[in-house]
Amino acid sequence: MFIGLFFGALLAAMLVAIAIIRSAHLHAHLSMDGDLSGPQKFHTAPTPRVGGVPVMAGLLLGAGGAWYEGLPEFAYLLLAGLPVFLAGFAEDLTKRVRPLYRLLFAFGSAAMAAWLLGAVLPSLGIAGLDEALMALPWLALLVTVFAVGGVCHAVNIIDGYNGLMGGVAMAISAALAYVSFTVGDAALLAVSLCLLGAVLGFFVWNFPRGMIFAGDAGAYLVGFLLAEVSVLLVVRHPGDVSPWFPMLLMIYPVFETVFSIYRKKFVRQMSPGMPDGLHFHMLIYKRLVRWMVGKREAKHLLRRNSLTAPYLWGVALFSVMPATLFWQYEWVLQLCCVLFVLLYVWLYRRIVQFRAPRWLVLRRAEGDVRPKLVTSSR
């Protein structure tokens, strides 16, 4: 059953995505991202930004199959995710929905999931705060809604280069599927596998050529499901799954968001809602990748764009791998969270100061557009 759900979601997303790409001339006035300027624009040609539609198509097919097998939780999750998906889709079509409104719709979706599925965090693995959450149910609800909405926004923030969000989301989905299987939760295993399949179906057209973008609808929907499966694992398996497991699992996009707010508010003295070009993935592109391949020709710009994502996949794996290996050991998860934060800050500081570690730097031979890894005897 689970293999069928995975491949069904995969094929549905692939087919809907290629249909959107092939019919782009019919809906370009609505679906295309034609703005090639701005600090967060790195594509070279107008591109459909409605990749959330094929992802949703794959998930709907999976939810239908899960319902038939007696697992209705998947359908309830998608119903709860509709507000944030539609808010993101409205932004993809109109480009006029403010980030604050999308975040509020994400909070609304999290509240719906709490109502339909009881998805409210019972604890955070922090002494003192856990007692407060148990004594004050409304506080637990607020913390959960804020956390889920924050993850939605964080996943949207890292959706900046071909394959970046999709690769990170697939790694997290696979880890959630593994833990769901280990604890025997068939419903959450179905959701995780279908999400993995749907994102993969979109990913094959997004990386490396960037033929379609996830858009806000895709990024917010994926972030919502990753967050809710994480919350439900903790809720449905208390004592087995630590709340620090999803924290470590998704610490890359979450800490990227927190660090960006700190950087903008306290270092650059600007509004945290204003876009800038100093996100970690942007620094990877500008300081490590941009000058490595070719000239200003479109094919070379595309290759540079696609070279960025693997760097960030590696960063994400530094959290996803230990989270998957040590999901039962809370103190190990906490230690790994601290180590990841230290690694992130160290790398960010080195790169922003033009002192990137040599093992991160690719160079090309003169006249060659293919990057080569620098080796050093020092």
What is the value of pTM for the model shown? Answer: 0.90
**Whole-number average pLDDT of the chain:** 88
Q: Is residue 117 part of a domain?
A: yes
- State the residue range of the domain holding 93: 2-357
Reported as half-sphere exposure (CB side, CA atoms, 13 A), residue 16 has a value of 25
- Mean pLDDT, residues 90-111 taken together: 94
Give the model's confidence band at 20: pLDDT under 50 very low, under 70 low, under 90 confident, else very high.
very high
In a domain, 56, yes or no: yes
Residue 70 lies in a domain: yes
126 in a domain, yes or no?
yes
Instruction: Report the Cα–Cα distance between both ends of the chain, in Å, rounded.
Output: 53
Categorize the per-residue pLDDT at 34 as very low, low, confident or very high, splitting at 50, 70 and 90: low
Residue 166: which of 205, 193, 192, 109 has the closest Cα?
A: 205
Model confidence at 9: pLDDT above 80: yes
Number of C-beta neighbours around residue 331 at 10 A:
11
Higher-confidence position of 308 and 33: 308
pLDDT at residue 222 in the model: 98
**Dihedral sign of CA atoms 288, 289, 294, 297 in order:** negative
Asked if the structure places residue 375 within a domain, the reply is no
Percentage of the chain surpassing pLDDT 90?
69
d(CA 82, CA 89): 10
Nearest Cα residue to 44 out of 258, 316, 313, 306: 306
- Determine the average pLDDT of the residues in 37-44: 49
Residue 220, in any domain of the structure: yes
Q: Report the phi/psi class of residue 75: left, alpha or beta, with left for phi > 0 and alpha for psi in -120 to 50.
A: alpha
pLDDT at 362: 65
Per-residue model confidence as pLDDT tens digits over 215-256: 999 999 999 999 999 999 999 999 899 999 999 999 999 999
For residue 150, is it within any domain?
yes
> Quick one: how far is CA 13 from the chain centroid?
17
Query: What is the pLDDT, as a whole number, of residue 209?
Result: 87
pLDDT at 44 over 70: no
What's the structural domain count of the chain?
1
Residue 370 lies in a domain: no
Residue range 280-311, pLDDT digits in tens: 988 888 888 765 555 555 556 777 788 889 99
According to DSSP, the residues that pair with 373 across neighbouring strands are: 362
